[in-house]
A and B are shown apart, each in its own frame.
Chain A
Amino acid sequence: MAAEPLTVELIKRRLLGRRRSGLDILIATALLVSLLVAVGVLVLLLSNVVGQGGPLLVERGFKFITDPLSPTASEAGLRQGLFGSVVLAVFVVLLAFPLGLAASIYLEEYAADTRPTRFLVANIRNLAGVPSIVYGLLGLTVFVGLARGVTNGRTLVAGGLTLTVLVLPIMIITASEALRAVPQALREASYGVGATRWETIRHHVLPVAAPSILTGSVLTIARAFGESAPLLLAGAVVSNFFAAPAGTNLIGLVTRESYTSLPVVIYNWARQPQEAFVELTAAGIIVLLIMLLAVNAGAILLRDRASRKPSL
């Protein structure tokens, strides 16, 4: 009889004691370390870039952004690259966003779950996995070559269309996921009071899905903003110099046959052997990362605004 309370005590202590074995702690630490390595690399990368490019950026200030390309590292700036990147981003926003949204609405709201629909979805998933440089070959053949009449060859138009085609599948997939997360009951309630499919989507589904569609789209556009491989093929100029613009108006600048973008300029600087270009590249990277940060911060603001509206 005397042993019983002791056994109960023992079992109780075993169960509630949360004693962790050495192996348990070891494995938890190893897993944490691997996560910290990944995050540490990010910190290392950022601090390395800021350390190398920061002083130059401070010294040159806004002139670094407004100066044109130059073979002399101390004079080279981001002007053409920045202009190209902004125009390319506008193309992607104006084309890929509405097209991607329309396709995702079709797939999620209209299309029945049939064999052709499943084929379409599988096709889009596969397109999202095609390496970006292959889209560059598509851009070179179709937009620079075949559609020369529309794009005028190696222009920002061709580059913009190439990036649009590149991000379209990703845009469709993210928007589809957002639409799928909208509860079915909402649609049924709308149909129940006699709304058509489009009215249901327009007034009930889209407002609820808007915040996640917006964030997803902005992330996708940010991806296009940092993309350079397809542009190398679709006609972007990889050089320290190209001729001053012939036309000064915007249309002339967009349709002339030489363009570049911020990441392409950075690529070109990164491959220059001279030491002076190392700092220049790092400074260019800081500008690129700040712009991406601004775009993402904008997305968060937009999402907060969109989700504050009472939607249900």
Chain B
Amino acid sequence: MNSDHVLAGDRRRQKRERTVHAAFRAATLLSIAISVAIVVSLIGEAVAFLAQVELDQLLANGWFPRRSRFNVSTLVVHTLLVSSVAMMVATPIGLGAAMYLSEYAPPRVRRVLKPALEVLAGIPSVVIGFFALRYITPQVIQPLFPATDLSNFAAAGLGVGILIVPLIASVSEDAMRAVPQTIRAAAYGLGAKKWHTSVRVVFPAALSGIIAGLILGVSRAIGETMVVAIAAGATGGSLTTFNPLDGGQTMTGAMASLAIGSDQVAGAVAAFQSLFFVGLLLFVMTLALNMVSERVVRRFRQRY
């Protein structure tokens, strides 16, 4: 720097400072533009869809866009079915793994097993979908329930469960590790055993973070597409079923299927627009869950 210039008074530096500031702010404001674009693109076509279909089409038997039957509740029920299976698997495994890593694991074990969980988190969902279809169904589901089709919600749910285990484990582990050491020390001081300390002291203290993690898990499970599209059977349409051993379409499965055109007939505008209606519903559901999750953390966080 030339010492002739008074530091703060250097025009060039001031100008550069302002330019950089403006450019960075513009990059940040882009995120607002993205949000607006999402909402506008979803709402526009979704409203057009609702304006076009009759009420009895929305209440028709099942989801068959090719035959103008758009009962969205079918898809919602199936999505909840898959998510329930996924959460039933992922909750105990994820929480158990988190508590082991946070409270029990010796450093050496942790150094090996935690990266393994991170690798699992990095496996693309198409790969899990293939695994669900070609391994979970024939090797796990069909030996237990021989009459099951290759495509079924149970396998898809197990696949989605595998996918969200690392998420639940990492969020819950962070929550448990955030519990201060003094609280554990206090429990030991009162004569509590190891398990008593982890299960009855650390777990409740970390509960807000754990619940937030579980809600995020549900949100991910609802929005997961590829596993369901591959393993649950995503072509044609489907009737409402509550049996996890049946196959059919979920919200995301129906969207994938509409997107690749297997459910579309030439000139069927409503079928195309239904894609956006289902998308909007999905967006609202996951957004609500994510906001609840944030609120849980903020509202019930223990201040130490």
Q: Is B286 an interface residue (CB 8 A)?
A: yes
Contact of A133 among B44, B120, B282 (CB under 8 A): B282
Say yes or no: A229-B252 contact (C-beta < 8 A), given A123-B35, A141-B41, A168-B34. Answer: yes
Question: Within the assembled complex, what's the spacing in Å between the Cα atoms of A138 and B39?
Answer: 9
**Which B residues lie within 8 Å of A267 (CB)?**
126, 129, 226, 229-230
Q: Is A21 an interface residue (CB 8 A)?
A: yes
Q: Is A130 an interface residue (CB 8 A)?
A: yes
Q: Is A241 an interface residue (CB 8 A)?
A: no
Chain B 123-134 per-residue mask, 1 if CB under 8 angstroms from chain A, else 0: 111111111011
Q: Which of A31, A129, A132, A138 has the most CB of B within 10 A?
A: A31
**Which B residues lie within 8 Å of A227 (CB)?**
124
Q: Is B187 an interface residue (CB 8 A)?
A: no
Stretch at the interface among B50-58, B65-73, B240-248, B255-263: B255-263
Q: Is B2 an interface residue (CB 8 A)?
A: no
Say yes or no: A32-B100 contact (C-beta < 8 A), given A129-B287, A278-B134. Answer: yes
Question: Within the assembled complex, what's the spacing in Å between the Cα atoms of A19 and B103?
Answer: 18
Distance between B2 CB and nearest chain A CB, rounded to angstroms? 13
Stretch at the interface among B19-27, B80-88, B141-149, B178-186: B19-27
Distance between B253 CB and nearest chain A CB, rounded to angstroms? 10
The answer to whether A103 touches B27, judged by C-beta atoms less than 8 angstroms apart, is: yes
**Which A residues lie within 8 Å of B120 (CB)?**
38-39, 41-42
The answer to whether A133 touches B223, judged by C-beta atoms less than 8 angstroms apart, is: yes
Q: Is B113 an interface residue (CB 8 A)?
A: yes
Interface size bracket, A side = 35 or more
Q: Is B276 an interface residue (CB 8 A)?
A: yes
**Which B residues lie within 8 Å of A78 (CB)?**
none
The answer to whether B123 touches A45, judged by C-beta atoms less than 8 angstroms apart, is: yes
Chain A, 175-198, CB within 8 A of any chain B CB: 194, 196-198
Question: Within the assembled complex, what's the spacing in Å between the Cα atoms of A219 and B115?
Answer: 13
Say yes or no: A270-B130 contact (C-beta < 8 A), given A106-B28, A172-B31. Answer: yes
Question: Within the assembled complex, what's the spacing in Å between the Cα atoms of A228 and B101?
Answer: 32
The answer to whether A296 touches B24, judged by C-beta atoms less than 8 angstroms apart, is: no
Q: Is B193 an interface residue (CB 8 A)?
A: yes
The answer to whether B30 touches A134, judged by C-beta atoms less than 8 angstroms apart, is: no
Distance between B222 CB and nearest chain A CB, rounded to angstroms? 7
Q: Which of B27, B116, B282 has the most CB of A within 10 A?
A: B27
Q: Chain A's interface: helix, strand, loop or mixed, by majority? A: helix
**Which B residues lie within 8 Å of A228 (CB)?**
124-126, 226
Q: Which of A20, A100, A197, A285 has the most CB of B within 10 A?
A: A285
**Which A residues lie within 8 Å of B20 (CB)?**
197-198
Q: Is B249 an interface residue (CB 8 A)?
A: no
Stretch at the interface among A22-30, A63-71, A206-214, A247-255: A22-30
The answer to whether B25 touches A106, judged by C-beta atoms less than 8 angstroms apart, is: yes
Q: Chain B's interface: helix, strand, loop or mixed, by majority? A: helix
**Which A residues lie within 8 Å of B301 (CB)?**
none
Say yes or no: A49-B25 contact (C-beta < 8 A), given A126-B287, A137-B275, A267-B229. Answer: no
Question: Within the assembled complex, what's the spacing in Å between the Cα atoms of A140 and B20?
Answer: 32
The answer to whether B31 touches A169, judged by C-beta atoms less than 8 angstroms apart, is: yes
The answer to whether B283 touches A120, judged by C-beta atoms less than 8 angstroms apart, is: no
The answer to whether A38 touches B124, judged by C-beta atoms less than 8 angstroms apart, is: no
Question: Within the assembled complex, what's the spacing in Å between the Cα atoms of A45 and B133?
Answer: 12
Q: Is B207 an interface residue (CB 8 A)?
A: no
**Which A residues lie within 8 Å of B133 (CB)?**
270
Q: Which of A100, A126, A196, A267 has the most CB of B within 10 A?
A: A267
The answer to whether B123 touches A42, judged by C-beta atoms less than 8 angstroms apart, is: yes
**Which B residues lie within 8 Å of A165 (CB)?**
34
Residue ID in chain B nearest A195 by CB atoms: B7
Question: Within the assembled complex, what's the spacing in Å between the Cα atoms of A191 and B155?
Answer: 58
Distance between B15 CB and nearest chain A CB, rounded to angstroms? 11
Contact of B130 among A41, A111, A130, A282 (CB under 8 A): A282
**Which B residues lie within 8 Å of A111 (CB)?**
25, 28
The answer to whether B124 touches A130, judged by C-beta atoms less than 8 angstroms apart, is: no
Question: Within the assembled complex, what's the spacing in Å between the Cα atoms of A153 and B113?
Answer: 45
Q: Is A105 an interface residue (CB 8 A)?
A: yes
Q: Is B59 an interface residue (CB 8 A)?
A: no
Q: Is B209 an interface residue (CB 8 A)?
A: no
The answer to whether B226 touches A229, judged by C-beta atoms less than 8 angstroms apart, is: yes
Contact of B100 among A31, A129, A225, A288 (CB under 8 A): A31
The answer to whether B225 touches A229, judged by C-beta atoms less than 8 angstroms apart, is: yes
Q: Is B300 an interface residue (CB 8 A)?
A: no
Q: Is B17 an interface residue (CB 8 A)?
A: yes
**Which B residues lie within 8 Å of A32 (CB)?**
100, 104
Question: Within the assembled complex, what's the spacing in Å between the Cα atoms of A203 and B95?
Answer: 42
The answer to whether B279 touches A270, judged by C-beta atoms less than 8 angstroms apart, is: no
Distance between A108 CB and nearest chain B CB, rounded to angstroms? 10
Distance between A84 CB and nearest chain B CB, rounded to angstroms? 14
The answer to whether A20 touches B194, judged by C-beta atoms less than 8 angstroms apart, is: yes
Contact of A232 among B92, B224, B259 (CB under 8 A): B259
List 22 A-B pairs, Cβ < 8 Å: A23-B195, A32-B100, A34-B96, A38-B169, A39-B117, A41-B162, A42-B123, A44-B135, A45-B131, A49-B130, A106-B28, A120-B31, A124-B31, A126-B291, A137-B279, A197-B20, A228-B124, A263-B124, A270-B129, A270-B230, A285-B130, A288-B124
Given contacts A41-B120, A140-B41, 8 further A-B contacts (CB under 8 A): A28-B104, A35-B113, A39-B113, A196-B16, A197-B20, A228-B125, A232-B256, A292-B122
